[in-house]
Amino acid sequence: MSAQISAVLVVQEDGLVSAQNRVALRLLGRKTGKYCWDVVGGLEGAEGLPCRNGCVRQLLVAGMDNAAHTPFRYAGQGYHLSCVPVERAVVCALTRNTDDSPEQWQELTPRERSILELLAGGETTASAAVQLGIREATVRSHVENMRSKMGASTRAAIVAKGFQLGYLR
């Protein structure tokens, strides 16, 4: 069984896409420098997307605890859009629905869940280590384990996948 990998876009506070992963390139084409609400909201035939001019700024003002999670239909299949404010950017992940619960190999340990929550709260490796009373190298090891389990290449993608799999609310 292969990992369910999301199309991930990093969107700056002005709404412009500044980065995207390979899955996003395949699904959407090269969209850096374009407005997110045109890129995601402009998916032809997609139903139920909340994308509009100013939605990125609204999410950033609302803060990290107010991530947006929206189910929608595209090309006859169910998808999920997660938009997570992280510092002065928003990470958007588009994922095709399969099973909303984690596969057994995606299960996180209690320590990994603690670190995931701290990452979602904007903590750095150093500050997470201090809060948990462990070494920075240990935090890095747990982050690498989560990357592998979740098929995510960045910390932002780990956080997005954490919301998708129900580890974060």
Write out pLDDT tens, residues 36-81: 999 998 888 888 888 999 999 999 998 877 888 888 887 667 788 9
Surface-to-core class of residue 162, CB atoms within 10 Å of its CB (0-12 exposed, 13-18 middle, 19+ buried): buried
What's the CATH code, domain 7-96?
3.30.450.20
Cα distance between residue 50 and residue 69, in whole Å:
10
Which of the four pLDDT bands, split at 50, 70 and 90, describes residue 150? confident
pLDDT in the model for residue 1: 31
| Stronger pLDDT, 17 or 168, i.e. the higher one | 17
- Domain edges within the chain: 7-96, 104-164
Torsional sign, CA 53, 169, 86, 96:
negative
Average pLDDT over residues 144-156: 87
Contact (Cβ atoms closer than 8 angstroms) between residue 133 and residue 64: no
Q: Which fold has domain 104-164?
A: Arc Repressor Mutant, subunit A (1.10.10)
pLDDT in the model for residue 27: 83
Decide: pTM greater than 0.75: no
Distances 14 to 30, 33, 104 between C-alpha atoms, Å: 18, 11, 39
- Do the bridges between strand 77-86 and strand 7-12 make them parallel or antiparallel, or are there none, so unpaired? unpaired
